[in-house]
Each structure stands twice: as structure tokens, then as C-alpha cells.
Chains A and B, each alone.
Chain A
Amino acid sequence: EAGVTQFPSHSVIEKGQTVTLRCDPISGHDNLYWYRRVMGKEIKFLLHFVKESKQDESGMPNNRFLAERTGGTYSTLKVQPAELEDSGVYFCASSQGASGGRSVGETQYFGPGTRLLVL
């Protein structure tokens, strides 16, 4: 079974440019999460999709970030315009979630991350 995949693995852009990150969850997983680790800090939650619906976007830092999951399969996270402080590693995770992701024991499986550097 294929795991969570993310594209690109690395991205280097200039401040003010736009970048779109893509995540393909494990097939059949309804729940999709985005997390971010900024240099030197903890991994932080950004948002959670259940199928194509945004269940929780409380971690999105500001309106420069836009996440979509059309059709409930893959997801994209767009940063527009990118700022220096957006640099970090962006992780995607998925879980099976018949409970809508609400079971405390439901394991989230992570992708390899996208390393974003904004210059």
C-alpha cells in the first residue's frame, strides 16, 4: 500500500512569489491534515479535511494560506504571497477515520514533507 506522498520535496522561492504544495493521502483515508515545522520550533497543526470539507482550520496562520481538497482525494496548500517566515517543512498526514478523525487512537500517517525556503 502506497503511503502519503507530497510534492515537491523541496521548493526555493523568492519573497512575494506563490508556491503550491500537493499532498496525496493514503487511498481510502477520509481525513487529511496539514502541519508545519518552522526552523527551531515544534510541529504545528494547520488544518484538517474530512473528505472535501474543512473540519478545522484553526491553525492556518493568515489569509495568505489557502488549502483545498477538491473531490476529497489529494489536497493542495497554496501560499500567496510567500513571506520569509513561511520557510519550514510542511507535512501532510492522513488517517482512515470512520469517526471523522475524532477517535483519540486514530493514527495519522505522515508524508515525507515539503521543505520550503523563502528568500
Chain B
Amino acid sequence: AQKITQTQPGMFVQEKEAVTLDCTYDTSDQSYGLFWYKQPSSGEMIFLIYQGSYDEQNATEGRYSLNFQKARKSANLVISASQLGDSAMYFCAMREGQGEYGNKLVFGAGTILRVKS
């Protein structure tokens, strides 16, 4: 079964500094996708970034980048130049393969990030 592990329940970062949120995954499938979502205090889930298992380059989206280390099965999110608005819960999620049914997301427990001014 798939599993996503986020080992950091909470993180602090100083405004304008970079921060890395850890995510490791467990899968026996060769084809899978990794996602990061942000959940601010208002509650909505905002898609941030996607990495495919066959993608050779690390994904980047503005200040977000994904440090994908396939051999280590890790997909850490890096936020550069942190802003106060980055304070939120961050979830790592995975979709496996192309099974018989549509591919649901499996989520980690989340990491709460607080940006200090």
C-alpha cells in the first residue's frame, strides 16, 4: 500500500529565508505522481506543485521547488524567500500508476509552517 510520511509536525522559518518541508513516500509502482498542497487557515486546499516519477528535472513553480530524490523516495518541498502569507499547513500527496480505478490521492499527515517576521 502507498504511504506518505511527513516527519515534521511543525516548522518555523524567518521571513525571507528558505525552508524545506520533508516528504518521503513508499510505493512499489514505477509510475506515480507527487503533489504538494497548501492549506491556509481559511481551510481551502491549494495545489502548489507536481512531480512525475519519470520527470528528470525537479519541478519548479515560482518560489516553490520540489527536491525529488527517486532513489531515496523523497520529494521535499523547498520554499524560497518565505513570506508571511506562506504560513499554512502543507500536505504531500501521491498518486500511483494507472490502476483499474481512477487514481486517488494518498496524503501525508501535513506540516504546519509558521513564518516569523
Q: Which residues of A contact B (CB under 8 A)?
A: 31, 33, 35, 41-45, 48, 50, 55-56, 58-59, 89, 91, 93, 97, 100-113, 115
Contacts and interface: CB of A to CB of B under 8 A. Distances in A.
A43 B91 contact: yes
Interface string B19-35: 00000000000011101
Contacts, number: 81
B35 A102 contact: no
Contacts of B42: 112
Contacts of A110: 37, 44-47
B102 A104 contact: no
Nearest to A91: B45
B102 A31 contact: yes
Secondary structure at the B interface, as helix, strand, loop or mixed, is loop
Taking residues whose C-beta sits less than 8 angstroms from the other chain, chain B's interface range is: 20 to 34
Given A50-B102, A102-B99, A112-B44, 8 more contacts: A41-B109, A42-B107, A55-B102, A89-B43, A93-B45, A101-B102, A106-B95, A109-B47
A102 B53 contact: no
Nearest to B93: A43
Contacts of A112: 42-44
B105 A108 contact: yes
A89 B39 CA distance: 12
A59 B104 contact: yes
Contact of B47 (A97, A100, A107): A107
Given A104-B32, A107-B50, A113-B44, A48 B104 contact: yes
Interface string B66-94: 00000000000000000000000001010
